[in-house]
Amino acid sequence: DGGITQSPKYLFRKEGQNVTLSCEQNLNHDAMYWYRQDPGQGLRLIYYSQIVNDFQKGDIAEGYSVSREKKESFPLTVTSAQKNPTAFYLCASRVRDRGGNEQFFGPGTRLTVL
């Protein structure tokens, strides 16, 4: 079955530690995205990548880093510089075209900083 997987589903981290969230897709999509969701709020874009070895900052990139070494994978690292990292993180992907086709989302990772 094609889809997007994110692991782990729940993640706990001590303050001051970096942590990496995994996102893998087998949909053959070129573009991938990372969003952050806080309670009662919509999703906000952290980073996105249109092709391998290329990525751009979204609206709230500070304290985060990404890599895109393979088409299928787009890991997100939450660094110790991120002041409020506790949130729900969602990864998405889409076929890259000039239109506005939809993004497909993974199940998300809930990160809690202790």
Partner 1 sequence: AQKVTQAQTEISVVEKEDVTLDCVYETRDTTYYLFWYKQPPSGELVFLIRRNSFDEQNEISGRYSWNFQKSTSSFNFTITASQVVDSAVYFCALSRGGATNKLIFGTGTLLAVQP
Nearer to partner 1, 85 or 108 (CB): 108
When asked if residue 26 is in the footprint of partner 1 (CB under 8 A), the reply is: no
- Residues of span 38-57 touching partner 1 by CB under 8 A: 40-45, 48, 50, 56
- Of 75, 62, 61, the residue nearest 25 (C-alpha): 75
Tokens linked to 19: 């942590």
* One of 24, 55, 94, 113 touching partner 1 (CB under 8 A): 94
Cβ neighbours, 10 Å, residue 5: 13
Give the whole-angstrom CA distance, residue 27 versus residue 71: 10
Binding site for partner 1 (CB under 8 A): 31, 33, 40-45, 48, 50, 56, 58, 88, 90, 92, 94, 96-108, 110
